[in-house]
Amino acid sequence: MIYTFFIYKIEDIYGADWVTPQMGVAGAILIILGIYLMVFGFRCFRPTLSVAGFLTFGLITWVGMTNSQTMDGYTNDPVTIMAVPAGLGILGAILYAFFWNISIYLVGGMGGLVFGLFILCWREDLVITQVVPRACFLVAISLFFAGVVFFAERYLVLFATSFTGSFIFIVGIDFLTHTGYIAGLKSILDQNSLHRVKYTIDRKVYAMMAVIIVLFLISFGWQFFYNRGREFGVNVEPAKKGGDGGEAGGGDAGGGSGPGSGGDSKGDGGGGDGGSGGHE
């Protein structure tokens, strides 16, 4: 009887008591994107924005679809519930890469959302027990992190890429190992009465959350030192002295804003001995 209950619980959380092809693909994608964010998230500008757009649009689409799913499900349900969020995730990736001056703040918002989910999953009752206050908390922490990007862009982006990468890496691992960690995420994001799951925190779940913290610290330290002297999307070149009375700086050539130029928000080209920088 205990075995039957265990199998029922696993099937309810993951859709099967074994790793389905859909879950395997989803887990592999999250693992790969997690490694990228942990290692190169801060270093690469537009690719990181694209990853953030893919994850954000994909998550929003999945939440909408799973909460509105009927008892009959969708046509070819296991594939549809994965393929549609992935397709709209690609659209989000394109939009985030194109509208970089807006999506740069949304990267911080993504980090805030992931951090909020991580906090809520530390208790079986999800810390905030009521649905509406819990949703307000997630929205508030996302907006707060997005706003702080304006004042502390470097550190917020470092945090967002490192923590999000660590988090989705472990979620991808959980898709393959079935430790039960994502039951907490489903309990938060999926309020469909047909999809109720029980979130139980055992030693395996605690281990997953502890590994998230360890990976985050390693990633943050690595990216902080690896990108010393860089801002997100900006490569600050060392100052060059002009020869024989010549000027080293680009004068007014560094003006203008946007990718590829030393814009007002990301550093001026500057005259004299000043360095130069711009969005990559």
* Block mean pLDDT (10 aa), the chain, length 280: 44 75 94 98 96 98 94 87 95 97 96 98 95 97 97 96 98 94 94 88 96 98 93 67 48 44 43 47
CA distance 205 to 211: 10
Assessment of whether the complete model's pTM goes beyond 0.85: no
CA distance 225 to 228: 5
CA distance 167 to 210: 11
- Collapsing DSSP to helix, strand or coil, 266 comes out as coil
Least Cα distance to 93 among 103, 101, 84 occurs for 103
CA distance 191 to 212: 25
Tokens found for residue 206: 């605690």
Quote the Cα angle for 48-13-1, to 5°. 155
Task: Kindly tell me the sign of the dihedral angle through the C-alpha atoms of 110, 115, 118, 119.
Answer: negative
Q: What is the model's pLDDT at position 255?
A: 42
Domain boundaries, the chain: 21-226, 247-280
- Collapsing DSSP to helix, strand or coil, 192 comes out as coil
Q: What is the model's pLDDT at position 73?
A: 84
Q: Please tell me the total number of residues recorded for the chain in this structure.
A: 280
- 170 and 212 Cβ atoms separated by less than 8 Å: yes
